[in-house]
Amino acid sequence: MNNIDKLYALWKEKAVLDKDLIDELNDIEGKENEIEDRFYQSLTFGTAGLRGIIGAGTNRMNVYTVNQATQGLATFLLSEYENPSVAIAYDSRIKSDLFAKSAAGVLAANGIKVYIYKELVPTPMLSFAVRKLKCKSGIIITASHNPAEYNGYKCYDPEGYQMTDEAAEKTYGFIQKTDMFSDVRTMDFDEGVEKGIIEYIADEVYEDFYKCVESCCLSPEECRNSGLKLIYTPLNGTGNKPVRRVLSDIGIKDVRIVKEQENPDGNFPTCPYPNPEIRQVFECGLEMAKEEPCDLLLATDPDCDRVGIAVNAGDEYKLMTGNEVGVLLAEYLLSRRKELSLLPKNPVVVKSFVTTSLVDAVARKYGAEVKSLLTGFKYIGEYITMLEAKGEADRFIVGMEESYGYLSGIHARDKDAVVACALICEMAAYYKSKGKSLYEVMEDIYAEHGMYLNALDNYAFKGSSGMVKMGEIMDNLRNCPPQTIAGMKVTGISDFKKSEKLDVATGVKSVIDLPSSNVLYFELENSCGVIVRPSGTEPKIKIYYTACAKTREEAQEIKNIMSAEMKKYME
């Protein structure tokens, strides 16, 4: 009997906490491929925690993999801190509440105080609670925008951003030493509540979060007086109550909710891939807009840390990209703060390095610094914390990722679609008072600075062979990099794994002062570029393109050629 068969037999004997696991293990008996896929590896605990398909096995999200991770986290926290406490939150996904309460029971059994939200809440509210309650860590059960069959488990640092590489590595070490059936301490959730070691988070924490978010708005009177018409969908996730509450508080009253997507539902029946980056999530809202037009459609993902928008452009509704919304927020917040004499000395905009460089052009116009960091909002959270420690938190204007994540204010250390929704609506109301839609404002920015077309290709790789293939592709690009892409010379190669940048013309290498990461950036002529990186949460390679030209059509043609050439490296 091989190791996979032994594991399968062990799970059939021991996995009794969840009837669904028992049924699944029985259903796959004799199906070698099904068994192998569930047991050929264990879910890896990285800085993003765990993420995987819900089901039975070491390669699935279930109470055993969650409990094992939580026991490892508990051991880590007890080795680092005296009397640590942990905040816990969860989203609308299948079994999220079960996993959250199970994790709470493990922590409680280890003598660690738990503060848990009494209902599903957005990810930024977990980040807020960690800081507010002075916890040493936080856990949120979510798989963000992944399909319904996925769930995940993310851990947080005491400062409210996702766990650092060093802490994650130590925690993973403890997890690997933990037998999920014999080494995990557990306590019944209700018993933990009765003993007071598990405590529900008080209403005042919710209210403090809302106050912090609303304080980020610059001119709520614009919202009250604009007559802005809005359609909002929480995509069957956590945004419904918080987003509606904040929009109402700042004066946005004409808000219609997409009924099919209003209430929590982890099956996401109208949008199997609940990602605000794609048009499908807006289809129900766009149908509503046909009956009664609106100025703006908003869609937050299931854990409400990202938001997408569609704007009434007169003859149609235009979906804005994550890059475009980031640029609009930078333009609005910098220009409006300047107009109101609220722009601090040495303002700074923080972005992931795969986010459009059009942000840099906008920031320069207002004398603002742009700090480009590795992909992952925790790096933006770390930077805000550094500013705060230096007494310079007021310099922070906005943080952003091209993948529709934004943060303004220092109440959280993770991307926050609640505050983003408030600011997007405020700027839409402001520009409406000037007779312009957000789409028209974006076109004005392109006219001023040039067309920056940013696009993303995803290449998925399945199973164990897929992971090997991804490694081979990155090695090939690293060892035999392209000399030209789309007829443009590669002028610079940044290898973030080696932390070095090569100037191709001179051969001179310089140090990249960022944490090591398996990412390659090919700088091209004419301000164009290509970034290649494996996803940190999914078995796929992402390729980011920047195509610059005078017109959208010219930029699109350049992007198409770049995409066709890079596809060859993925085969």
pLDDT digits (tens, 9 = 90+) for 396-438: 999 999 999 999 999 999 999 999 999 999 999 999 999 999 9
Q: Are residues 401 and 537 in the same domain?
A: no
Residue 323: give its domain's CATH number.
3.40.120.10
Angle at 88 between CA 85 and CA 89, to 5 degrees: 160
Q: Are residues 182 and 226 in the same domain?
A: no
Final residue of a domain: which of 179, 201, 223? 201
Instruction: Read off the DSSP letter of residue 402.
Output: T
Q: Are residues 401 and 317 in the same domain?
A: yes
Q: Are residues 421 and 286 in the same domain?
A: yes
Residue 222 confidence class, pLDDT cut points 50, 70, 90 = confident
Domain count, the chain: 3
Q: What pLDDT, on a 0 to 100 scale, did the predictor assign at position 162?
A: 95
Tokens of 290: 């046909």
Final residue of a domain: which of 425, 449, 473? 449
Asked if 419 contacts 125 with a C-beta cutoff of 8 angstroms, the reply is no
Q: Are residues 408 and 264 in the same domain?
A: yes
Instruction: Read off the DSSP letter of residue 260.
Output: G
Strand order in the sheet with 317-320: 255-257, 230-233, 296-300, 307-312, 317-320
Domain range spanning residue 234?
209-449
Q: Are residues 225 and 118 in the same domain?
A: no
Who wins on pLDDT, 468 or 482?
482
Q: Are residues 437 and 456 in the same domain?
A: no
Helices (H), 371-492: 377-389, 417-433, 438-449, 463-479
556 domain-assigned: yes
CA distance 315 to 475: 47
- In three-state secondary structure terms, 544 is strand
Residue identified by tokens 């490892």 is: 72
Q: Are residues 438 and 467 in the same domain?
A: no
Q: Are residues 557 and 542 in the same domain?
A: yes
17 domain-assigned: no
Instruction: Read off the DSSP letter of residue 474.
Output: H
Neighbours of 466 (CB within 10 A): 14
Neighbours of 410 (CB within 10 A): 18
Asked if 8 contacts 24 with a C-beta cutoff of 8 angstroms, the reply is no
Q: Are residues 430 and 486 in the same domain?
A: no
403 is catalytic: no
Q: What pLDDT, on a 0 to 100 scale, did the predictor assign at position 377?
A: 94
Residue 159 confidence class, pLDDT cut points 50, 70, 90 = very high
Asked if 501 contacts 492 with a C-beta cutoff of 8 angstroms, the reply is yes
534 domain-assigned: yes
Q: What is the pLDDT of residues 270-320, one digit of tens each?
A: 998 999 999 999 999 999 999 999 999 999 999 999 999 999 998 899 999
Residue identified by tokens 């508990």 is: 74
Q: Roughly how many angstroms between the first and final C-alpha of the chain, as a whole number?
A: 36
Look at residue 215 and tell me whether its pLDDT is greater than 80: yes
At 216, the amino acid letter reads C
2 domain-assigned: no
Count of alpha carbons within 13 Å of 223, Cβ hemisphere only? 23
Final residue of a domain: which of 145, 174, 201? 201
Out of 96, 144, 403, 437, the active site residue is 144
160 domain-assigned: yes
- Would residue 227 be called left, alpha or beta, if left means φ above 0 and alpha means ψ between -120 and 50 degrees? left
Q: Are residues 216 and 146 in the same domain?
A: no
Q: What pLDDT, on a 0 to 100 scale, did the predictor assign at position 462?
A: 82
